[in-house]
Chain A
Amino acid sequence: MLFNSLCFIIFIFLFIPLYFITSGRIRLWICLLSSYIFYGWWDYRYLLLIFVLTIVNYYCGLKIINQTNLKKNPIFLLISIIISLIILCFFKYYNFFIDNINSMLFLFGFEKNVTSLNIILPVGISFYTLQAISYTIDIYNKKIQAEKSLLQFATYIAFFPQLVAGPIIRASCFIPQIKKDNCLDYNDFIKGIQLIIWGYFLKVVIADSLSMVVDVRFENPENQNSLSMLIGIIFFSFQVYADFAGYSLIAIGIARMLGFRFPMNFDRPFFSSNISKLWQRWHISLGSWLRDYLYIPLGGNKYGKLKTYRNLFITMLLCGLWHGASWNYVIWGGINGIYLSIHRFMKESINLKGFISEKFFILNIIGLFKILFTFILFSSPLIIFRANNIDDSLMIINNIFQFNEYSFSAVTQKFHVIKGFMLIIFLIIVEGMSFNQYTTKIIKNYPNIKLIWSAFILGLISLFGSFENNSFIYFQF
């Protein structure tokens, strides 16, 4: 079920009253069954995967906590991680693996004889698998207790707001909240509605408007001039942000209406003054998952500079692979790994603080330059991320550097392009204003302004929104 479909609107209008008129186990059952309906609406057969992951991780969690001398016998932790990863790898990476084996065989003169399977990637598998893995690792590391109630654990894995595209919520954040019977809190409810409205605006207005321009450019890069292609890349950076941040906000907003507090998944990343900060503010739940369960176990920054750079690189490489079974994503992750390593090297080797003030100030020219530079660094590898294949990526890069073709008259979809730029400027102004103390003060003193603002955003959704049930980009991951 898509958040931007009529079907979901009906679903949520039925779910919310049911949620608040019930309590205890009945409420949990309603949450769980509704989540299964939400997921099964897409393809009920894949519910089996959620059941298997739930049972395996629940059982392993209980077994881990029952063992003594944990560090010496991580058998149940390994079982849970291996089974979760097998499921993920089979559905997400099997064909990628087979295709590469075939290419290797062909390279050495053998016939391509390993057949790939017609596997459909189950929606959200990358998200709920990571959630399940983090649960057993946290138990093993004694950060949390194993959940004894299967009902509560199953609800944690399948809770519909964040099930298919995150944010990736830790058990330590979710399970204590589900144990409480949340009453209807007016402030939370309104705050949730406001987050949802802004999330829908990001998705159906900004992301979907930009996608009209982006799709044409990346589908036919050979027939675009340099400026047209450059516009496509800038738009894609904002599209992917608005699409995913929009989804996260809707998920967080729905949870907030129900009384759950989930951490923010994006914190105005395009205002970051360096690439490390940008990654700390982009897809925060995945970033922190990778830090806690991959980067730190690899050694983090404890074993010298070289190993720190290596760990950063490996983490980002796997982050790329997590996004999809294609070399495009791996290369994209690798480039970002190199960026982060270089930034860390520069930070450690050159005294940037003495050279350029790190203090953020929006009207500071150097600050603006750093933000722009960071944006360019972030956007450039997105060419590889978005292009259909490596050949297309190279063609696009070559196209952009044909500097003689920067004429606006040959840019196609001019009206969509102008609309896109206006929406981007609006987004930058709105997000930029939230840094301003004066704006914050006004909102604090006049809380109704936020309600009027939400009504205004609803109007903009009506005027500029795309209501064609466009899928969210992160569904494919």
Chain B
Amino acid sequence: MNLIKKILIIITAFFIFDSVISTALLKLSKISQIRYSRLYYEKINADILFIGNSRAINTFYSPYFDKLSNTKSINLSYNGLTLPLINVFVNDYLNRNKAPKIIFIEVTCITDGYFGFPNFKQYMFDSPMIKKIIKEYYPKIYYTSIISKLYLFNSEYFLRTLYYLKKQDQNWINRYKIKEEFYNNLLKTNENIFLLKTIEESLMKMFIELITVCRQKGITIIPVLAPILDRCRNENNIDNYISDFEKRTKLKIINLSRAIDDISMFSDTVHTNDRGAYLIAKKLIDYLNKKNDNSSF
């Protein structure tokens, strides 16, 4: 009896702690200025939406873009974001906000499948799509989250949620330069060559469905291939990827993979820094201006 009583004390205290702290953490998540908290708990209504993985975070820098183009944009990219997640976030965005005019997608992420969802499990009860996918693909995580609400906040993303509690996350970008010594050593090995994978049929199908949804809402989707450091580019691989992508989607990629040769504009082999992002913002605005010479932008 004594044993059962003691075990019950531990279990009861755990659930009280779990419930009280998770309620407080949910409140913090709701007031955070991080991108997806804004997506699920605020109206954004941007003109331009950027999305992709870490390459998109460091290529599409909203503050520069807004300043140079006088528009309102939002970057919904995140480290390791995959196409299924992009599909969820874009659809959830469109359900909650007025449709943007343009969506820029950095195409590197299209090659990856159902990864990364557990990082965003704190929105499981705000997004039926996230909930459904976590339940289907990550049942252990789903049921653990049902038992312990605290577990919903067990992620690297939640730490960022706390960090951006009172400040905007749109100025999140790498601000350091690649080390020259590291750059010089790149030629010694082929390990750092960045190779784009062929897009699986199921992912391509999902991407085309997303394009269709966006077109129905009058949104222009512009795929972009972000800069890659010269010593890490495989030109054949890039050309093959682009021609395959364009053939299958009937969309033209803005190929910026060779747009920057100055190594001080990179933070590592595949990520630009703030200086690189500034140049890219200018190039994208030039592209849009040329494209819309006869129409308003």
Contacts and interface: CB of A to CB of B under 8 A. Distances in A.
Q: Tell me if chain B binds chain A.
A: yes
Interface of A: 6, 184, 186, 189-190, 193, 222-223, 225, 409-410, 415-416, 418-419, 448, 451-452, 454-456, 458-459, 462-465, 467
B159 A454 contact: no
A186 B1 CA distance: 9
B273 to A, nearest CB: 11
Interface stretch (B12-20, B105-113, B215-223): B12-20
A6 B14 CA distance: 20
B293 interface: no
A417 to B, nearest CB: 10
Which of A6, A410, A462: most chain B Cβ within 10 A? A462
A454 B181 contact: no
A458 B14 contact: yes
A213 to B, nearest CB: 11
Nearest to A407: B176
A186 B6 contact: yes
B10 A451 contact: yes
Contact of A222 (B10, B150, B156, B181): B181
Given A463-B21, A464-B154, A456 B13 contact: yes
Contacts of B18: 459, 462
9 contacts: A186-B3, A193-B10, A222-B181, A454-B10, A455-B10, A455-B11, A459-B14, A459-B148, A467-B140
B258 to A, nearest CB: 23
A465 B150 CA distance: 11
B17 A459 contact: yes
B175 interface: yes
A477 B17 CA distance: 38
B11 A462 contact: no
Given A458-B14, A463-B21, A463-B150, A416 B176 contact: no
Interface residues of B, number: 31
A462 B150 contact: yes
B13 A452 contact: yes
Contacts of B153: 463
Contact of B9 (A6, A452, A458, A463): A452
Contacts of B2: 186
Interface in B61-120: none
A186 B179 CA distance: 60
Interface string B116-159: 00000000000000000000000010001000101101101001
A69 to B, nearest CB: 53
A190 B21 contact: no
A205 to B, nearest CB: 10
Contact of A459 (B21, B156, B163, B175): B21
B195 to A, nearest CB: 18
Contacts of B10: 193, 451, 454-455, 458
B283 interface: no
Interface of B: 2-3, 6-7, 9-14, 17-18, 21, 140, 144, 148, 150-151, 153-154, 156, 159-160, 163, 175-176, 179, 181-182, 185, 268
Contact of B6 (A190, A416, A465): A190
Nearest to B15: A455
B176 A409 contact: yes
A225 B181 CA distance: 12
B17 A415 contact: no
Contacts of A462: 18, 144, 148, 150-151, 154
A448 B8 CA distance: 11
Nearest to A466: B154
A448 B176 contact: no
Given A419-B159, A455-B14, A459-B18, 13 more contacts: A186-B3, A190-B7, A223-B268, A415-B163, A448-B9, A451-B9, A454-B10, A459-B21, A459-B150, A462-B148, A463-B150, A463-B151, A463-B153
A465 B7 CA distance: 21
A207 to B, nearest CB: 16
A455 B6 CA distance: 11
B172 to A, nearest CB: 11
Nearest to B145: A462
A459 B154 CA distance: 11
Contacts of A452: 9, 13
Nearest to B181: A222
Contacts of A467: 140, 144
Contacts of A415: 156, 159-160, 163
Nearest to B268: A223
A223 B182 contact: yes
Nearest to A458: B14
B42 to A, nearest CB: 22
Contacts of B7: 190, 193
B170 to A, nearest CB: 17
A418 B9 CA distance: 33
Contacts of B268: 223
A410 B176 contact: yes
Contacts of A184: 3
Residue among A225, A410, A419, A463 with most chain B CB within 10 A: A463
A452 B14 CA distance: 8
Contacts of B144: 462, 467
B150 to A, nearest CB: 4
Nearest to B20: A459
Contacts of A459: 14, 17-18, 21, 148, 150
B154 A465 contact: yes
Nearest to B176: A410
Given A458-B14, A459-B14, A222 B3 contact: no
